[in-house]
A and B are shown apart, each in its own frame.
Chain A
Amino acid sequence: MLGLRVLLKREDLVHAGSHKLNNVVGQALLTRRMGKRRLVAETGAGQHGVAAATAAALFGLECTVYMGELDTERQELNVFRMELLGAEVRPVRAGSRTLKDAVNEALRDWVATVDHTHYCIGSVMGPHPFPYMVRELQRVVGDEAREQCRALLGGDDPDFVVACVGGGSNAAGTFAGFAPTRSRLVGVEAAGGAAASDGIPGVLHGMRSLLLQDEAGQILEAESISAGLDYPGIGPEHAHLAASGRARYEKATDAEALDAFRLLARAEGILAALEPAHALAWVVREAGQAVPEGSTVLITLSGRGDKDVAQVRELLAAGRDGR
């Protein structure tokens, strides 16, 4: 259909529905090791929140999840999931009421509770050692994918390795497996929140990276249909990979992501989350162009789309798909 050989790394099949579990299990173990009894987490789409709540239940930890009020509305089902798992979800009404504000609130909670609480950050962001730690906990995605690609491609690596980027944890984990290979690495951001493409250097949430901001340094609000990509920055390692040229960062629009979401559902019977639908959308758009015909392409399908179905129905009914 695309003239490409597309391989999907199926993190949507991970327990709790996304790659986020890889990270939270590691951090929950560290929490116990540090003798702490509570996790705080931020969440955008709710996938990290659900994963944190899942790990907290498994390891007997308390769990508080901060989520932008706007996100609690568009991801109602994930809020209920977290509550079923025993977590407390606190809606954040400040600022843009999305992921960045949830991070602010989680940090504010943490400074007051650090004696017994670990901040289980969900992406490759924040102060050192979080970006490094989360990448290492997610590199299983890239290591597995490389091994599986080599099995499928007769010992070869794919021509392109593509993942969506909000903060960038699934991409960082994926890229970690392929950094030493010949594969071309592509991170795909939501067009309304493309910090790698449109950001400038700044310091936020304890990290120096590329941020969407105005001239004075006020952080701008990212805007996308995908709550998980609504973050005005990217992890610092992505900024580094962009600067060094080892990875390139591209954008996909809301409409392109919705199209890709439907395409994958029809073609493969897979409901992907809207976040990786952006990665898919870029490949669909660039097939035969930036991605030459006959290329092999690995896409990390970072999560499943059940959480997005209600929102997709509304968007399609409202004609937000650009038609």
Chain B
Amino acid sequence: MIALEPWLRARRDEGRKLLVPYVMGGMSEDWVESLQAVVAAGADAVEVGIPFSDPMMDGPVIQRAGVHALDRGATPARVVDDIASAELAIPVAVMTYYNIVFRMGHRRMARSLRAAGIGAAIVPDLPLEELDPWAAEADAAEVATVLLVAPSTPQARVARICARSRGFVYAVARMGVTGERESLGSDSADVVRRIRQVTDTPVCVGVGVSTPAQARTACAVADGVVVGSALVRRLLEGGGPDAAAELVGQLRAAIDEM
């Protein structure tokens, strides 16, 4: 297993901007190949969705991918096994909702991630106040729990979230759900600045980062970007590993030029 935070810190400290693409686990027959293509095209880490029936933080594109995955019989255990079988050379974070973690059990979930070589988890509907029972097991299994900061988060809370976030801090670019937008949220630079005031952990911007130009704008202040819906849409349209690699390559080139 590759631990997420040291890996990202090392790359950032070399002056590299971080690219973290998102793929929904189990969304298509060839999703593991797509994941591998994303890695080969220049991702620094990947985020893999474990589908949930009620993904409240996600917009229509990722919702649809989740429905596809569930219709294809995806389960948390199967997605985790598939990730392990992909033998990726970069760190992996799973993104799912708390009920999936709760049903599996904190310890079992943390250990199964660890056993599969998955070094991080993002659980956006698990608030800071309720985090400890999961985080204790995740820490024990050396699974980093990435926390999110929103534009509406008061500064005192930003400090508490950043103190507890592992791997990186996920800066939510705008108030709203995941999905492609015409422009990068105007709040994103402010969120990143407020996170920087209280932590040295890498900061990646997500939610509505869809184009190479938006990725570059976000990376002007942040250490990196998370790109989900734009990539998942290409996979839903049947583009497969080639389309995934093409977009990731474009994003890579855009932020490498900086």
B159 to chain A: closest CB distance in Å? 21
Asked whether A115 and B53 contact (CB < 8 A) given A216-B100, A217-B102, the answer is no
A201 to chain B: closest CB distance in Å? 8
Name the residue on A nearest B70 (C-beta). Answer: A218
Residues of chain B within 8 A (CB-CB) of A107 are: 56
B24 to chain A: closest CB distance in Å? 14
B56 interface neighbour in A205, A213, A215, A217, Cβ under 8 Å: A205
B98 interface neighbour in A112, A113, A203, Cβ under 8 Å: A203
B52 touches A217 (CB 8 A): yes
Residues of chain B within 8 A (CB-CB) of A114 are: 152, 175
A215 touches B103 (CB 8 A): yes
B177 touches A112 (CB 8 A): yes
Residues of chain B within 8 A (CB-CB) of A111 are: 57, 175-177
A140 contacts the other chain (CB 8 A)? no
One digit per residue, 1 when the CB lies within 8 angstroms of any chain A CB and 0 when it does not, for chain B 80-122 equals: 0000000000000000001110111000000000000000000
Asked whether A204 and B99 contact (CB < 8 A) given A94-B63, A216-B75, the answer is yes
A213 interface neighbour in B103, B125, B177, Cβ under 8 Å: B103
Residues of chain A within 8 A (CB-CB) of B67 are: 95
A218 interface neighbour in B53, B57, B59, Cβ under 8 Å: B53
A112 touches B176 (CB 8 A): yes
A206 interface neighbour in B75, B125, B152, Cβ under 8 Å: B125
One digit per residue, 1 when the CB lies within 8 angstroms of any chain A CB and 0 when it does not, for chain B 171-197 equals: 000111100000000000000000000
B54 contacts the other chain (CB 8 A)? yes
A95 to chain B: closest CB distance in Å? 7
A104 to B53, CA, bound (A): 11
Name the residue on A nearest B177 (C-beta). Answer: A108
A211 to B59, CA, bound (A): 23
A145 to chain B: closest CB distance in Å? 34
Residues of chain B within 8 A (CB-CB) of A112 are: 174-177
A113 to B75, CA, bound (A): 33
A219 to B63, CA, bound (A): 14
A205 to B70, CA, bound (A): 20
A202 interface neighbour in B59, B102, B176, Cβ under 8 Å: B102
Residues of chain B within 8 A (CB-CB) of A104 are: 54, 56
B76 contacts the other chain (CB 8 A)? yes
B54 touches A100 (CB 8 A): yes
* Interface of chain A residues 204 through 240 with chain B (CB within 8 A): 204-206, 211, 213, 215-219
A112 to B174, CA, bound (A): 8
Residues of chain B within 8 A (CB-CB) of A115 are: 152, 175
B133 to chain A: closest CB distance in Å? 12
Residues of chain A within 8 A (CB-CB) of B53 are: 95, 218-219
A215 to B75, CA, bound (A): 10
Which of A113, A203, A213 is the most central at the interface, judged by chain B CB atoms within 10 Å of its CB? A203
A211 to B52, CA, bound (A): 14
A218 to B67, CA, bound (A): 11
B175 touches A203 (CB 8 A): no
B54 touches A95 (CB 8 A): yes
A219 to B104, CA, bound (A): 14
Which of A100, A107, A204, A216 is the most central at the interface, judged by chain B CB atoms within 10 Å of its CB? A216
| Shortest Cβ-Cβ A-B pairs, 4 listed | A217-B103, A112-B176, A218-B53, A217-B99
Q: Can you show 22 pairs from A to B with CB atoms below 8 A apart?
A: A95-B53, A95-B67, A100-B54, A104-B56, A108-B176, A111-B177, A113-B175, A114-B175, A202-B99, A203-B98, A203-B102, A203-B125, A204-B99, A213-B103, A215-B103, A216-B103, A216-B104, A217-B52, A217-B76, A217-B103, A217-B104, A218-B70
Binding site for B on A (CB under 8 A): 94-95, 100, 104, 107-108, 111-115, 201-206, 211, 213, 215-219
Binding site for A on B (CB under 8 A): 52-54, 56-57, 59, 63, 67, 70, 75-77, 98-100, 102-104, 125, 152, 174-177
Other than A216-B77, A219-B99, give 7 A-B pairs with Cβ distance below 8 A: A94-B63, A203-B98, A203-B125, A204-B54, A213-B103, A217-B76, A217-B100
